[in-house]
A and B are shown apart, each in its own frame.
Chain A
Amino acid sequence: MVTAEVAEAVPAQTPEDRFEAVIAAEQRIEPRDWMPDAYRATLIRQIAQHAHSEIIGMQPEGNWLTRAPSLRRKAILLAKAQDEAGHGLYLYAAAETLGVDRAELTEKLISGRQKYSSIFNYPTLTFADVGVIGWLVDGAAICNQVPLCRCSYGPYARAMVRICKEESFHQRQGFELLMTLMRGTEAQRRMVQDAVDRWWWPSLMMFGPPDADSPNTARSMAWRIKRHSNDELRQRFVDMTVPQAEHLGVTLPDPELRWNEERGGWDFGEPDWSELTRVIHGQGPCNTQRIERRRTAHEDGAWVREAAVAHAAKRAAEHAAAAAAAEQHTEQENGK
């Protein structure tokens, strides 16, 4: 309409000007627009890491698929794992719009040259972990992802809108699972508390290092890739989660957790950042296992990919032969 045309017609002499103008006007950068090399590189790194996290993230919960306590829980868990695979694919597709190839990103993941979220390097020891992952890990992911729906890069923002719509089910099924366990036996309640104790701090670390140690945040925020700092998002997550923990009847394992009337938020203790550094650099409890599993799945799937290509070639040849035969038939008919 008229207004849209006016907005599009912002005069800009250089590609840089145009890029800056689009960002400033809260419009979206689209794949073939000019963009600074560092903007492209930042997005490729972030989207790839995000995609890898979705894919690797299927493993901790996948551990319990064959041992879910009921058909209902099994169906739910399967649906969730399938969603995460879908999230990975949406994100790889978004990354590909920046000129990289999915196969190349997979190669970088299994060779350890690209990272995934540190949270997925922790083991799932009991079925309560499935509930706690849904509640805390997907909950933290939602905190991170909702602002990304307004990211300045169009394909990433659109993938995030789709993903956020699906994440709500993940968090709610986890919370419901935990509520069910909390209504059960004493042993089941202890199982939930144990899982909360193990996952709480790693969940807080999902937001990344503290702002002071996150040098790229300012630039990402200026580019409107990121909308809030790590510490802001972490605070938001704590504020959302504390009342949920109370409702559930579990204790969050932080003696420093207390309501701060002045600033209207929860004060909380400092995560052990050296642990985050260790896990990121490959020394988490499950790093080796996760990558090994991903590599095996990729290599075991090679024959399927090859067979699909062979099948496609065979079908194409059949179609071509049938078309040629039909054409010959028509010529004969016409010749009569």
Chain B
Amino acid sequence: MTESPAAPHAESPAEHKAEHKAGSKADSRACWPLYEVFVRPRRGLNHVHVGSLHASDDRMALLAARDLYTRRNEGVSLWVVRSDAITASTPDERDPFFEPSGDKVYRHPTFYDIPEDVPHI
């Protein structure tokens, strides 16, 4: 366990693997496509990304997601989506991409000074 395995470094390891584009080294070797799994924990809450799995088709992905991610009543609804169908922002462009919101402090309520004695605001 002392030497490191010859880990092949895929050109662009995926974020949620959302960017495992067809044709990347990792995908071409997997026999089943990758799916991302989203669970709605309770009524009234959003579906939340919980992880991923490989499945041969959508139906199997849904069944496997049930067995893998909701063994203890973790959810009332499940979404599965092919990872290669997700479009994501890239970390390289993160700063410029989100930059428009960086200098707009006036979008936050704390930007405005209101006297202490004004109620309910």
Contact = CB atoms under 8 A, between A and B. Distances in A.
Interface stretch (A26-34, A143-151, A245-253, A289-297): A26-34
Given A2-B105, A2-B108, A103-B29, A32 B13 contact: yes
A309 B56 CA distance: 5
Contacts of B50: 162
Interface in B1-60: 1-2, 4-5, 7-10, 12-17, 19, 25-26, 29-32, 34, 50-54, 56-57, 60
Contact of A102 (B54, B60, B90): B54
B64 to A, nearest CB: 9
Given A86-B68, A99-B10, A309 B31 contact: yes
A238 B67 CA distance: 35
Interface size class of A (residues with CB under 8 A): 35 or more
Say whether chain A's binding surface is mostly helix, strand, loop, or mixed. helix
Contacts of B73: none
A108 B10 CA distance: 17
A240 interface: no
Contacts of B29: 101, 103-104
B110 interface: yes
Contacts of B90: 32
A31 B4 contact: no
B91 A33 contact: yes
Interface string B95-108: 00010011001001
A83 interface: yes
A45 B51 contact: no
Interface string A231-265: 00000000000000000000000000000000000
Contacts of B17: 31, 93, 96-97
Contacts of B120: none
A322 B26 CA distance: 32
A65 interface: no
Given A40-B9, A100-B26, A159-B51, A5 B102 contact: yes
13 contacts: A32-B91, A37-B9, A40-B9, A40-B13, A42-B4, A99-B7, A99-B13, A100-B8, A102-B30, A102-B54, A108-B5, A162-B51, A315-B57
Interface of B: 1-2, 4-5, 7-10, 12-17, 19, 25-26, 29-32, 34, 50-54, 56-57, 60, 67-68, 71-72, 90-91, 98, 101-102, 105, 108, 110
